[in-house]
Amino acid sequence: MGNSDSTKQILAEELKRQCRTTQFNRITVGGLCAACGLDRRTFYYHFRDIYDLAAWVFNRSLAPFLPGAQGRPGLSGVEEALSLLKKDASFYRRALADNSQNSLGRHILAFSAEAFGAARKLLSGADVLSEAEQFTIDFFCFGSLGMIQRWLFRDCNPDPRQMAALLVAAMPEELRQLYLPESELSPSAQGGK
C-alpha cells in the first residue's frame, strides 16, 4: 500500500470507528484529523469532505462487487459484499441515515446505476440505453439500496447468504444476466439454450 493509500486507510478506519458512537453529520474533519494525529491539510489533500471519504470507503470495499469489466460477481460476490457491509454495519447505518446533498446513499445510487448501465451496454453492444432499460436499472438500484438499508437496520437479518439470494432473485432478468455467470442463468436468459 502506497503512502497515499495508507493515509486514506487511516482516515477511513477512524471514520468507521467514530461512526460506532457518533451520528455521521456530527463527525468533523478536525475531529478525524486529531484522532489520527494528522494535519487538516493532509485530509484535504486526499478528500473534499467527510462525504468524499465515505464514498472512498464504499468504492474501495464494495464497488468491486458490482458487474463490470472485471466480470460477473455471481451470488457469492453479492454474499461477500453483504458480509463486508455487515462487518462495517455501524458505519453504513450512520452514513446511509444521512440524506444530505453529498450523502453516501446518493453516491451509491449514482455509482451503481452507472456500473449496471455500463455493463448492460457492454453486454448488448449498444452505445446508449433505452429509456426502459435505464428505468429498470434505476428502479432496481433504488429498491436494492432501500432493502439493504432496511437489512442493516434490522441487524443484518437474514444472514448475508440469504439476503444475497433474495437480492439476486429480485433482479429483473436483464440485470440478472449482467450479474451472474451464464451457468447460473435460466435457459431463456441464455438465449434459449
Flag whether 92 is in a domain. yes
- Greater model confidence, 6 or 178: 6
**Predicted structure pTM score:** 0.85
Q: Is the pLDDT of residue 2 over 90?
A: no
How many domains is the chain built from? 1
Whether residue 64 lies inside any domain: the answer is yes
pLDDT-based confidence at residue 132 (cuts at 50, 70, 90): very high
Examine the pLDDT at 188 and tell me if it is beyond 80. no
**At 114, which amino acid appears?**
E
Contact 77, 168 (CB under 8 A): no
Ordered DSSP codes for 91-125: HHHHHHH--STT-HHHHHHHHHHHHHHHHHHHHHT
Range of the domain at 162: 50-179
Question: Using CA atoms, how far apart are residues 49 and 78, in angstroms rounded to an integer?
Answer: 29
DSSP 193: -
Q: Tell which wins on pLDDT, 55 or 125.
A: 55
The answer as to whether 91 is a domain residue is yes
Q: Report yes or no on 42 lying in a domain.
A: no
Q: Are 176 and 185 in contact (CB under 8 A)?
A: yes
Q: Is residue 61 part of a domain?
A: yes
CB 51 within 8 A of CB 100: yes
Phi, psi (5° rounding) for residue 68? 175, -160
- Determine the average pLDDT of the residues in 100-126: 89
CATH number at residue 140: 1.10.357.10
Q: How confident is the model at residue 110 (pLDDT cuts 50, 70, 90)?
A: very high
pLDDT band for position 178 (50/70/90)?
A: confident
Q: Which residue has the higher pLDDT, 101 or 53?
A: 53
Q: Would residue 137 count as lying in a domain?
A: yes
What are φ and ψ of residue 104, in 5° steps? -60, -40
For residue 145, count other CB atoms closer than 10 A to its CB: 16
C-alpha span between 56 and 15 (Å, rounded): 11
Quick one: pLDDT at residue 163? 95
Task: Please tell me the predicted confidence (pLDDT) of residue 1.
Answer: 47
Q: What is the mean pLDDT of the chain?
A: 88
Q: What is the pLDDT of residues 146-168, one digit of tens each?
A: 999 999 999 999 999 999 999 98
The reply to whether 186 falls in a domain is no
Evaluate whether residue 34 is within a structural domain. Answer: no
